[in-house]
Amino acid sequence: MDSQIIISGGGPIGNYLASNLTGCSVQIMEEHSEIGKPVQCTGLVHPRVIELANAEESVLNAIKGFRLFFPDGRMVEVKTDETKAVVIDRCRFDNICCGGAKKAGATINTDSKILNFKRENNELIVNHLTNGKKSEIKTNLLIGADGYKSHVGNCAGLGCAKEIVRGIQADLEITMPDQNIVEVYVGKEVAPGFFAWILPCGEFTRVGVGISKGNGIPSKYLDRLIEKRGFGEINRSQIYSGVIPIGYPKSTYADNIMIVGDAAAQTKPLSGGGLYTGLQCAKYAAETALDAIDSNNYSAAFLSAYEDKWRSEIGKELDRGMIVRKIFTGMSDKKLDEAGKLLDKPEAKEILATGDIDYPSRLARPMLKAVPSLMKLAPGALKTLLLGR
Ligand X SMILES: Cc1cc2nc3c(=O)[nH]c(=O)nc-3n(C[C@H](O)[C@H](O)[C@H](O)COP(=O)(O)OP(=O)(O)OC[C@H]3O[C@@H](n4cnc5c(N)ncnc54)[C@H](O)[C@@H]3O)c2cc1C
147 binds ligand X (CB under 6 A): yes
Residues 93-132 close enough to bind ligand X by CB under 6 A: 113-114
Size of residue set near ligand X by CB under 6 A:
39
14 binds ligand X (CB under 6 A): yes
Q: How far is the CB of 71 from ligand X (least distance, A)?
A: 22
Which of 4, 5, 7, 9: binder of ligand X (CB under 6 A)?
Answer: 9
281 binds ligand X (CB under 6 A): no
Which of 18, 21, 44, 348: binder of ligand X (CB under 6 A)?
Answer: 44
Q: How far is the CB of 310 from ligand X (least distance, A)?
A: 13
317 binds ligand X (CB under 6 A): no
Q: How far is the CB of 40 from ligand X (least distance, A)?
A: 5
261 binds ligand X (CB under 6 A): yes
Rounded Cα gap, residues 213 and 140, in angstroms: 37
Which of 7, 26, 222, 275: binder of ligand X (CB under 6 A)?
Answer: 275
Q: Which stretch binds ligand X (CB under 6 A): 12-20, 175-183, 226-234, 249-257?
A: 12-20
Q: Which stretch binds ligand X (CB under 6 A): 58-66, 271-279, 310-318, 329-337?
A: 271-279
8 binds ligand X (CB under 6 A): yes
Residues 174-233 close enough to bind ligand X by CB under 6 A: 208
Q: How far is the CB of 260 from ligand X (least distance, A)?
A: 7
The one-letter amino acid at 208: G
Nearer of residues 193 and 208 to ligand X, judged by Cβ: 208
Rounded Cα gap, residues 385 and 364, in angstroms: 8
**Residue nearest ligand X, Cβ-based:** 274
Nearest one of 336, 345, 338, 353 to 371, comparing CA atoms: 345
Determine contact, residues 86/199, Cβ cutoff 8 Å: no
DSSP string for 110-175: SSEEEEEEEEETTEEEEEEEETTEEEEEEEEEEEE---TT-HHHHHTT----SEEEEEEEEEES--
Bridge-based pairing state of the strands 65-69 and 181-185: parallel
132 dihedral zone (left: phi>0; alpha: psi -120 to 50; beta) = left
Rounded Cα gap, residues 49 and 295, in angstroms: 31
Q: Helical H runs in 40-89?
A: 47-53
Determine contact, residues 99/108, Cβ cutoff 8 Å: no
Nearest one of 77, 66, 23 to 286, comparing CA atoms: 23
- Number of alpha carbons in the 13 Å side-chain half-sphere of residue 27: 22
45 binds ligand X (CB under 6 A): yes
Which of 244, 254, 289, 367: binder of ligand X (CB under 6 A)?
Answer: 244
Q: How far is the CB of 350 from ligand X (least distance, A)?
A: 25
Q: How far is the CB of 87 from ligand X (least distance, A)?
A: 8
| Residues in Cβ contact with 285 at an 8 Å cutoff, skipping those fewer than 6 apart | 17, 143, 258, 260, 306, 310
Q: Which stretch binds ligand X (CB under 6 A): 34-42, 117-125, 227-235, 247-255?
A: 34-42
10 binds ligand X (CB under 6 A): yes
| Residues contributing to the site for ligand X (CB under 6 A) | 8-14, 29-32, 40-45, 113-114, 145-147, 151, 167, 169, 208, 242-244, 261-263, 267, 272-276, 278
